[in-house]
């Protein structure tokens, strides 16, 4: 357990899976688990979605990799879908969340130097955040366990308490370039930022000429019932990083920015060999087609409300186990009273896969394709697990 309480490897990994189907994972010996972890918010359409299999197979027979030296039509198509459905005007494709955040951090520095402020390079970030495991992204967060032995850290981050506007304001100096924040802290324990806090950060950025950068790697691509979590708060960022659910299991990340914010990022200023490859682009286009066309987002909101309400009703019978349930859409956190790892293990022993997070929280991140029956099934498993724990 790290200083912020994130349990990194406290649980014995005693199970390996052979195959997946929809929201289920199967072991070699045929045991079935209801997967409410989704590879930590990655398998947004569940396992082996037929449309994704078809898309990946078809693309695999045409073209796998092609250098960014040439045009990649599917990259243009995906960028078109993302920009048409967000604040953004331009997109950089990469392969992971950390790379997407890193691209955004380079972008905010470039924006400032391009606008005549090369002295502005620092970024205000928040305690409890998680932005990835590269040297720069561990430097951006306050998790000492992630930093231990890897020093010195990359300079340029001022970490303030999450949700505290006054501390954020006090941290702004002549060297500040941007504010980086997760609309809902995922690894930190499903801790939603107040809508007003996000709106106030926007105002703070406008007041001091800073860029507002949302890390939506975990919250993005429909997880919260909106394509991007910040859309619920109606706060317009300048930059966002996305990954995880975008590829539905195929590795892909992206950094989205407004035209103004991306002004200094001309062709060649940043790059990636694999980023935006035709396989990833084909799959991600299909993921977005499905999420945007099949009214999934509305269903995510409804099922999320139901899931949280019923979990609350369920744990009220066991007041010594759980303190609260929180989150948005299908990004749900159960704040435990007993060690969260014990709940995760008990759920798993009853067939339900969940993920531990910071703040002694158990995360439920089911695939967005679940229906009422899966919610019923999960609640039965949770109820049995609670019973067994008492
Ligand atoms: N940002 C957030 C909010 C995340 O939750 C994660 C991963 O959990 C990352 C960044 C890093 O993503 P990746 O592991 O794909 O590099």
Write down the residue that tokens 């103004």 correspond to: 260
User: pLDDT-derived band of residue 15, with 50, 70 and 90 as boundaries?
Assistant: confident
Can you tell me the distance from the alpha carbon of 342 to that of 11, in angstroms, rounded to the nearest whole number?
9
Ligand 1 neighbourhood includes 42 CB (under 6 angstroms):
no
Can you tell me the distance from the alpha carbon of 323 to that of 233, in angstroms, rounded to the nearest whole number?
26
* Cα–ligand 1 centroid distance for 265 (angstroms): 23
- Element (DSSP H or E) covering residue 138: helix 135-140
Write down the residue that tokens 């690894």 correspond to: 187
pLDDT in tens, 249-284: 999 999 999 999 999 999 899 999 999 999 999 999
Ligand 1 neighbourhood includes 255 CB (under 6 angstroms):
no
Write down the residue that tokens 């200023």 correspond to: 269
pLDDT in tens, 341-390: 999 999 999 999 999 999 999 999 999 999 999 999 999 999 999 999 98
Atom of ligand 1 nearest to the CA of 101: 10
Can you tell me the distance from the alpha carbon of 211 to that of 107, in angstroms, rounded to the nearest whole number?
10
Mean pLDDT of 128-156: 97
Q: Give residues with Cβ within 8 angstroms of 182, minimum separation 6.
A: 126, 129, 130, 188, 193, 214, 215, 216, 218, 219
Distance of CA 86 to the CA centre of its chain: 16
- pLDDT at residue number 293: 83
For ligand 1, pick from 7, 43, 97, 248 the residue to mutate: most ligand atoms within 8 Å of CB. Answer: 97
* Cα–ligand 1 centroid distance for 45 (angstroms): 18
Q: Is the pLDDT of residue 227 over 80?
A: yes
Paired tokens of 60: 């695999």
Q: Is the pLDDT of residue 9 over 80?
A: no
- pLDDT at residue number 29: 87
- pLDDT at residue number 13: 59
* Cα–ligand 1 centroid distance for 293 (angstroms): 26
Residues in the chain, total: 390
Please tell me the residue having the least CA distance from ligand 1 atom 1. Answer: 131
Mean pLDDT for all residues in the chain: 95
Ligand 1 neighbourhood includes 348 CB (under 6 angstroms):
no
CB 124 within 8 A of CB 168: yes
Strand partners, 153: none
DSSP codes, 301-360: HHHHHHHHHHHHHHHTT-TTTEEEEEEETTEEEEEESS-HHHHHHHHHHTTEE-EEETTT
- pLDDT at residue number 367: 98
Mean pLDDT of 202-230: 98
Ligand 1 neighbourhood includes 218 CB (under 6 angstroms):
yes
Q: Is the pLDDT of residue 158 over 70?
A: yes
Q: Percentage of residues in the chain with pLDDT exceeding 90?
A: 93
Can you tell me the distance from the alpha carbon of 328 to that of 361, in angstroms, rounded to the nearest whole number?
15
Q: Is the pLDDT of residue 214 over 80?
A: yes
Q: Percentage of residues in the chain with pLDDT exceeding 70?
A: 96
């Amino acid at each position: 357990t790290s200083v912020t309480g994130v349990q990194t490897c406290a649980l014995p990994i005693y199970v390996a899976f052979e195959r997946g189907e929809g929201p289920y994972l199967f072991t070699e010996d045929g045991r079935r688990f209801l997967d409410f972890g989704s590879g930590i918010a990655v398998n947004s359409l569940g396992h082996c979605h037929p449309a994704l299999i078809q898309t990946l197979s078809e693309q695999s027979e045409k073209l796998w990799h092609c250098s960014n030296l040439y045009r990649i039509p599917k990259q243009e198509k995906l960028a078109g879908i993302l920009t048409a459905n967000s604040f953004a005007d331009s997109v950089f494709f990469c392969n992971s969340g950390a790379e997407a955040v890193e691209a955004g951090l380079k972008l905010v520095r470039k924006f400032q130097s391009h606008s005549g402020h090369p002295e502005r390079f620092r970024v205000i970030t928040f305690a409890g955040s998680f932005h990835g495991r590269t040297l720069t992204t561990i430097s951006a967060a306050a998790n000492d366990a992630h930093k231990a032995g890897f020093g010195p850290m990359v300079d340029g981050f001022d970490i303030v308490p999450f949700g505290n506007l006054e501390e954020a304001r006090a941290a702004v100096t002549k060297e500040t370039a941007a504010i980086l924040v997760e609309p809902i802290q995922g690894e930190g324990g499903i801790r939603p930022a107040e809508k007003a806090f996000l709106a106030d950060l926007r105002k703070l950025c406008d007041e001091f000429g800073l860029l507002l950068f949302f890390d939506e790697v975990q919250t993005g691509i429909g997880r919260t019932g909106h394509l991007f979590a910040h859309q619920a708060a109606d706060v317009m960022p300048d930059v966002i990083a996305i990954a995880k659910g975008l590829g539905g299991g195929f590795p892909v990340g992206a950094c989205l920015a407004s035209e103004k914010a991306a002004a200094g990022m001309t062709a060649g200023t940043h790059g990636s060999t694999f980023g935006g490859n035709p396989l990833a682009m084909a799959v991600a286009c299909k993921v977005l087609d499905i999420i945007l066309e099949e009214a999934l987002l509305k269903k995510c909101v409804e099922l999320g409300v139901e899931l949280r309400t019923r979990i609350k009703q369920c744990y009220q019978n066991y007041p010594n186990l759980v303190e609260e349930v929180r989150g948005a859409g299908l990004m749900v956190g159960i704040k435990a009273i007993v060690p969260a790892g014990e709940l995760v293990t008990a759920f798993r022993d009853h067939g339900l896969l969940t993920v531990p997070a910071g703040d002694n929280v158990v995360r439920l991140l089911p695939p967005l394709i679940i229906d009422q029956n899966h919610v019923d099934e999960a609640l039965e498993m949770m109820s049995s697990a609670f019973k067994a724990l008492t």
